[in-house]
């Protein structure tokens, strides 16, 4: 929706996941200047506001259990021109935390949406894991049990990208067991208490992490797990020249065709490119 003249601004503010020193100067400035701060838990946010030197006119609660019931009142404030900062207890609103419904409602009333990026447990753990970070899937919390959990694990097990999951410390051991059973003994990392006094990041195979963290784990946990290996592209039954002609006719660029031929038919890239050029010359 296009911004509505006179509507306010919703700032989606990422807050520290443990160390208050990670609050950015920009985030602190937003908290000091907005009309309203909307928080997952106002008791926790008061500590953050004191740290930022902020005294908002209003501090409103938006807990996960009643997010839907409280959104309209805040959206009305935005529609009336108020500036609002949305925060959660830690990290980025909406990322396994409340906030998505309010952002959606803000779009609905034509408010301006301004992200104020900052700390993220998912990205912090991923960056420290040493696992591939060029393509990853954030899966949040797995379903607790039953068919939904099994189906989620089956689906995630096929994803050819690094997986990032959240888990409570007292359920980490069970989740590591389930991941190993569903995925096999993949490379993984477990990060707990990120940016806090007892921060710990351990990397190894899922079996090694399962053994290391067999009991309850203190604090919130972020798990990073290597993705599924992409199956090799099946060698086509058709001759390579026919495949090249078909791909070129479909509009694929010669370089893309050469890469596909090289991968699917186990050819050197230069050899595949030369073959594509020969076929192009005979068209």
User: What CATH number is given to the structural domain containing 115?
Assistant: 3.40.1010.10
107 and 42 share one domain: yes
144 and 97 share one domain: no
Percent of the chain with pLDDT over 90: 71
186 and 217 share one domain: yes
Residue 48, pLDDT score: 95
Does 3 score more than 80 pLDDT?
no
Query: If you count them, how many residues does the chain have?
Result: 283
Residue 71, pLDDT score: 94
Residue 6, pLDDT score: 83
3-state secondary structure of 195: coil
Distance between CA atoms of 47 and 45, rounded to whole angstroms?
A: 5
Mean pLDDT along residues 221-237: 77
pTM, entire model? 0.77
CB 34 within 8 A of CB 11: yes
Residue 23, pLDDT score: 96
Does 232 score more than 60 pLDDT?
no
Residue 234 backbone phi and psi in degrees, to 5: -65, 135
147 and 183 share one domain: yes
The tally of domains found in the chain comes to 3
231 is a domain residue: no
Does 235 score more than 70 pLDDT?
no
74 and 13 share one domain: yes
CB 58 within 8 A of CB 36: yes
165 and 256 share one domain: no
234 is a domain residue: no
113 and 36 share one domain: yes
Distance between CA atoms of 263 and 135, rounded to whole angstroms?
A: 20
What the block records as the tokens of 24 is 């950015």
pLDDT band at 216 (very low <50, low <70, confident <90, very high): confident
Query: 105-145, pLDDT tens digit by residue?
Result: 999 999 999 999 999 999 999 999 999 999 999 999 999 98
132 and 172 share one domain: yes
230 is a domain residue: no
Q: Would you state the torsion angle of the CA atoms of residues 86, 134, 141, 224, taken in this order, to the nearest 10 degrees?
A: -120
Domain closes at, from 119, 134, 163: 119
Among 107, 141, 281, 57, smallest CA distance to 99 is for 107
Residue 283, pLDDT score: 64
Strand ordering across the sheet containing 200-205:
136-141, 162-168, 220-225, 187-192, 200-205
Which residue range is the domain that position 67 belongs to? 9-119
Half-sphere exposure of 261 (CA within 13 A, CB side): 29
129 and 109 share one domain: no
Does 282 score more than 90 pLDDT?
no
149 and 183 share one domain: yes
167 is a domain residue: yes
Helix, strand and coil in the chain, % to nearest 5: 45, 20, 35
Distance between CA atoms of 62 and 132, rounded to whole angstroms?
A: 35
Residue 70's Cα: distance from chain center in Å? 26
Distance between CA atoms of 155 and 271, rounded to whole angstroms?
A: 37
Domain closes at, from 119, 134, 155: 119
Does 189 score more than 80 pLDDT?
yes
215 and 248 share one domain: no
Please report the beta strands in 117-219, taking only residues with DSSP state E, as ranges in sequence order: 136-141, 162-168, 187-192, 200-205
179 is a domain residue: yes
3-state secondary structure of 107: helix
129 and 103 share one domain: no
Does 251 score more than 70 pLDDT?
yes
Does 55 score more than 60 pLDDT?
yes
Among 66, 103, 63, 109, smallest CA distance to 85 is for 103
232 is a domain residue: no
How high is the mean pLDDT of the chain? Answer: 92
19 is a domain residue: yes
DSSP, residue by residue, 226-247: PPPPPPPPPPPSS-HHHHHHHH
CB 8 within 8 A of CB 81: yes
Mean pLDDT along residues 17-41: 96
Does 233 score more than 60 pLDDT?
no
69 is a domain residue: yes
More confident site: 232 or 47: 47
What the block records as the tokens of 165 is 């999951």
Residue 236, pLDDT score: 47
User: What CATH number is given to the structural domain containing 178?
Assistant: 3.30.950.10
């Amino acid at each position: 929706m296009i911004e509505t003249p006179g509507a306010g601004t919703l700032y989606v503010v990422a807050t520290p996941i443990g160390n208050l020193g990670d609050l950015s100067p920009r985030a602190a400035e937003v908290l000091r200047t907005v009309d309203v701060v909307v928080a997952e838990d106002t008791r926790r946010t008061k500590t953050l506001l004191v740290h930022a030197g902020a005294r908002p006119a209003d501090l409103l609660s938006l807990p996960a259990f009643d997010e839907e019931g409280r959104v309209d009142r805040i959206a009305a404030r935005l529609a009336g021109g108020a500036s609002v900062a949305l925060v959660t207890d830690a990290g980025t609103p909406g990322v396994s935390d409340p906030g998505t419904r309010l952002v959606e409602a803000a779009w609905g009333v034509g408010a301006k949406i301004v992200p104020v990026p900052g700390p993220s447990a998912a990205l912090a753990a991923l960056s420290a894991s040493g696992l591939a970070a060029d393509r990853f899937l954030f899966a949040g919390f797995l379903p607790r049990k039953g068919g939904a959990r099994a189906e989620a694990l089956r689906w995630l097990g096929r994803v050819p990208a690094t997986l990032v999951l959240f888990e409570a410390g007292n359920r980490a051991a069970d989740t590591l067991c389930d991941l190993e059973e569903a995925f096999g003994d993949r490379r993984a990392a477990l990060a707990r208490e990120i940016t806090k006094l007892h921060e710990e990041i351990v990397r190894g195979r899922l079996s090694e992490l399962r053994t290391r963290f067999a009991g309850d784990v203190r604090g919130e946990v972020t798990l990073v797990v290597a993705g599924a290996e992409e199956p090799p592209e099946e060698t086509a039954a058709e001759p390579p020249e026919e495949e090249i002609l078909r791909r070129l006719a479909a509009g694929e660029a010669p370089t893309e065709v050469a890469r596909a031929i090289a991968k699917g038919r186990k050819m050197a890239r230069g050899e595949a490119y030369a073959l594509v050029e020969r076929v192009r010359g005979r068209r």
